[in-house]
């Protein structure tokens, strides 16, 4: 039985300005090349949902820590990394509906990677998403932000290392 848990933290999608840039040239300097997703089910980081069959999407290289560092003047150094993410060809970002954590499937493995104000990794943990997905994420984020050094958290898939979403200190 799934219990109801109030979401305290907010999963952040790719910001609209960054998304506009990625739809032209990605963070690796490659032009965006949209394609028709025949099967659907790709995790879209722009609107935090799964793609629909027949939808136009693109796989782009994204450097979330680099973009955050540019806003905050942090210096992540060697921790700056980029990787593949799916985005819609066009969208207005996440809908305004229920505040749930995206791409949460009970049993899936995620890394919850913690960064300090300079953009350096200061820890992390493996999360096997429990049946109550919201409670599982909430506990992992509460644990991360209990450390006053932690400024933000990145959630990534274990299987491919793909960036899923970011959570910043409340």
Please state the domain extents for the chain.
Answer: 16-88, 109-168
Residue in 90, 91, 113, 110 with CA at minimum distance from that of residue 102 = 110
Claim: this prediction has a pTM higher than 0.85 = yes
Contact 131, 2 (CB under 8 A): yes
Handedness of CA 45, 46, 49, 51 (dihedral sign): negative
Burial of 83 (0-12, 13-18, 19+ CB in 10 A): middle
DSSP state of 146: T
Per-residue pLDDT tens over the stretch 59-78? 999 999 999 999 999 999 89
Per-residue pLDDT tens over the stretch 139-169? 999 999 999 999 999 999 998 888 999 999 9
**pLDDT at 29 > cutoff 50:** yes
Nearest-angstrom CA–CA distance, 34 and 58: 4
pLDDT at 148: 97
**pLDDT at 2 > cutoff 70:** no
CA distances, 140 to each of 44, 97, 147 (Å): 22, 23, 12
């Amino acid at each position: 039985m799934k219990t109801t848990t109030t979401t305290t933290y907010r999963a952040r999608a790719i910001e609209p300005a960054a998304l506009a840039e990625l739809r032209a040239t990605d963070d690796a300097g490659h032009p965006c090349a949209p394609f028709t997703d025949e099967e659907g089910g790709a995790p879209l980081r722009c609107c935090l949902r799964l793609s629909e069959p027949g939808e136009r999407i693109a796989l782009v290289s994204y450097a979330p820590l680099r973009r955050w560092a540019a806003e905050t003047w942090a210096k992540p150094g060697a921790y700056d990394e980029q990787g593949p993410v799916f985005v819609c060809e066009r969208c207005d970002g996440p809908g305004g509906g229920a505040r749930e954590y995206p791409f949460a499937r009970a049993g899936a493995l995620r890394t919850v990677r913690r960064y300090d104000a300079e953009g350096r990794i200061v820890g992390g943990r493996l999360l096997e998403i429990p049946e109550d997905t919201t409670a599982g994420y909430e506990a992992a984020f509460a644990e991360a932000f209990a450390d006053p050094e932690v400024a933000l958290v990145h959630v990534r898939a274990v299987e491919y290392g793909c960036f899923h979403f970011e959570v910043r200190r409340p």
